[in-house]
Structure 1
Amino acid sequence: MGLGKTIQSIAFLQEVYNVGVRGPFLVIAPLSTITNWEREFNTWTEMNSIVYHGSLASRQMIQQYEMYCKDSRGRLIPGAYKFDALITTFEMILSDCPELREIEWRCVIIDEAHRLKNRNCKLLDSLKHMDLEHKVLLTGTPLQNTVEELFSLLHFLEPSQFPSEAEFLKDFGDLKTEEQVQKLQAILKPMMLRRLKEDVEKNLAPKQETIIEVELTNIQKKYYRAILEKNFSFLSKGAGHTNMPNLLNTMMELRKCCNHPYLINGAEEKILAEFRESCHHHVPPDFHLQAMVRSAGKLVLIDKLLPKLKAGGHKVLIFSQMVRCLDILEDYLIQKRYLYERIDGRVRGNLRQAAIDRFSKPDSDRFVFLLCTRAGGLGINLTAADTCIIFDSDWNPQNDLQAQARCHRIGQSKAVKVYRLITRNSYEREMFDKASLKLGLDKAVLQSM
């Protein structure tokens, strides 16, 4: 990640264009990255690239004025296009745009192609209905959980060479012997161009990851025990009829409790009431801030860590799985008067790039960038930051590696520190240990190629 896949792909398309294959080319990328794709096309090539995204009205406007060539009577000329490359998002492909299906694409480049790892996903189904002559998949993490996911990518690229999943899994499903690994590597070698950071940038600053085990606060211990024991009478204190806690997914509730008890329905009102009583009517002016920080071990640590990082001139990325957890962190940053930016699934594409640019400016006063691991952890460049805090880990460890690579990539001149917060003796610790085992598969098959 951060090795120039975007630039390489654009250079490849330019070379193909120079040889006489004049497109049209299709680029499919995550929403956060399409502005950057357009910027790189304009910087490095003479090709005319357009971004195809937005509301129905704005897409119709693009079709009307930017996509098709017309004759003197205003009729469309079949197979003639004003653009050379069209950049769009996964969502546009999923929404089944017939105008994209009608075009005979000479080459498609799919960024963050691990989105295709599930054989039965709707995205793969939509792509099968498109006319794609040549396919290029870009990913820093092609092998995430199982060998089946790798088959999904190979079948999409070469369906004739990899027709049967059953046969592929019979040969490589368990990967128990070194012979199997070597055979799989021999199949992958002609299809895969793999580069590591150390191959490309000898002077890249090192990355150091520290796992910080955090204790549950007394409040968290009460809620943790109540969730495990399914103690409904304790949990429903302070909750109205509309926000009763949901214990159908116990594991999710335990994760919420480890992050911050405010994430449990009805807990915030109860905790604030108890904290107000403990103050004996001498309510401090920053009452809400104190209650919020003291309720969660992770926030106690963040509260001690951020002032030191600020004093040391560092800039910080904080990743969380949960949007509501980012809401709590945002509330904390506002009350502490730390300047910040934020990207999660609710932030629109053009606003995402604007936030990245504000944070990355040389004279930027932004100190923290709050990011949702899935929305903000893919494809974007945040080398202005040199500290990464993983507030809560992902079941898929590759997603956390993707998140860390936002700041540990080519262009980073400082040493990068990663702090991973894990709650001691909790379900979160057990989950992290199990997830870490998945990295072994990637290491066995790909790292030794």
Structure 2
Amino acid sequence: MRTHGSNREVLGIIPHIDSTRFYPTIQQQQSLAQLFGCCRVVWNDALALCKNSLKLPSSGDLQKLFITQAKKTEERHWLSEVSAIPLQQSIADLGIAYKNFFNSLKGKRKGKKLGSPRFKKKTSQQSARLTRGGFSINRETVYLAHIGNVNPIWSRSLPSEPSSVTVVKDCANRYFLSFVVDVEPVSLEAKNQSIGIDLGIKTFAFMSDGTKAESPSYVKLDRKVRKLQRKLARQEKDSKRRHRTRIKIAKTHNKIADTRKDFLHKLSTKVVSENQAIILEDLNVSGMMKNRKLSRAISLQGWRQFRVFCSVKSVKYDREFVVISRWEPTSQVCSECGYKWGKLDLKVRSVQCINCGATHDRDQNAAKNINKVGMGNRHDSKCTSRRKKTTSVASVDEA
């Protein structure tokens, strides 16, 4: 995770997002709906001007045009009924979105290419960000400007004074408060020096020390989503029944996401707290998703999310996080002697090395190789002979 500012880098302070759920009253729900609508209108108006302009206007010009001057018009006079802070932050977020888009086009931003900012819809997730002038915390109560006092469900106290809070309403009509706080790294003694992790579908993670991590089953919830989506496709648009079905789909998606996130948080915390170095393989998930038979199962696992959790928590616990190249032949090399037998079919789960006679589980062998490559102890495959043919354990038993 990147830190912002030189002082934070010297002090070792890490920006962190802490979210908690709250239940607004009916009047507060109406006020929040008005706030979300104003932020959405300001974003869409500014985005429409940016798309039709040859030169991108500055955030200050957009704020004057679509907030200050728009409040004086009859069409947008209701913008003055909400706090101006989230409206200004909405314009600022649009400027950041365009900056990230241009940096992605120029190659200055790593990762997948970003698209241009899009218009916001009423049926999507809604959010509004308030800085320190728009909120305050008094013990267990949070005051939001023009909204009132709300009582979040605190699972733990905030580690520091938050710099901003984002009010979020998801597609299932759940409300959350997301705080940006500063967290100092935790010094915790590690039990093991390093661990290599091989990610899979049936077994989510196979560790180099021989332990496994089985992911929860999402089959029943996934079938329910597909059934509701077929029902939604047959219903009339803008009808009440279609709206109820859409809410049911969103709630089922949230159950899957919450179950997966809880599992990944617990697993990543355990892995990072017990090991000094965490080593993963750089998987080409977008390429693997092109496999029509495995794409749905891969998308439910959350490999990328697990990698992000491990990376963030490695900074928090002062650990070393290593990602090896996707081109490393971790499944094609014997972890004992370094003999390279080449590619194996996915149905081959156990392999016996002809060179040294060792029998390996496919996933555990890959995890051991990931650990060795990440720690710089890679075998030299040129020193091993490839005259013999390595076979699966089943074929050896048959012989």
TM-score range, shorter chain: under 0.3
Q: Going by fraction, where is helix more abundant, 1 or 2? A: 1
Tell me which structure has the larger Cα radius of gyration.
2
TM-score, normalised with respect to structure 2:
0.24
TM-score, normalised with respect to structure 1:
0.22
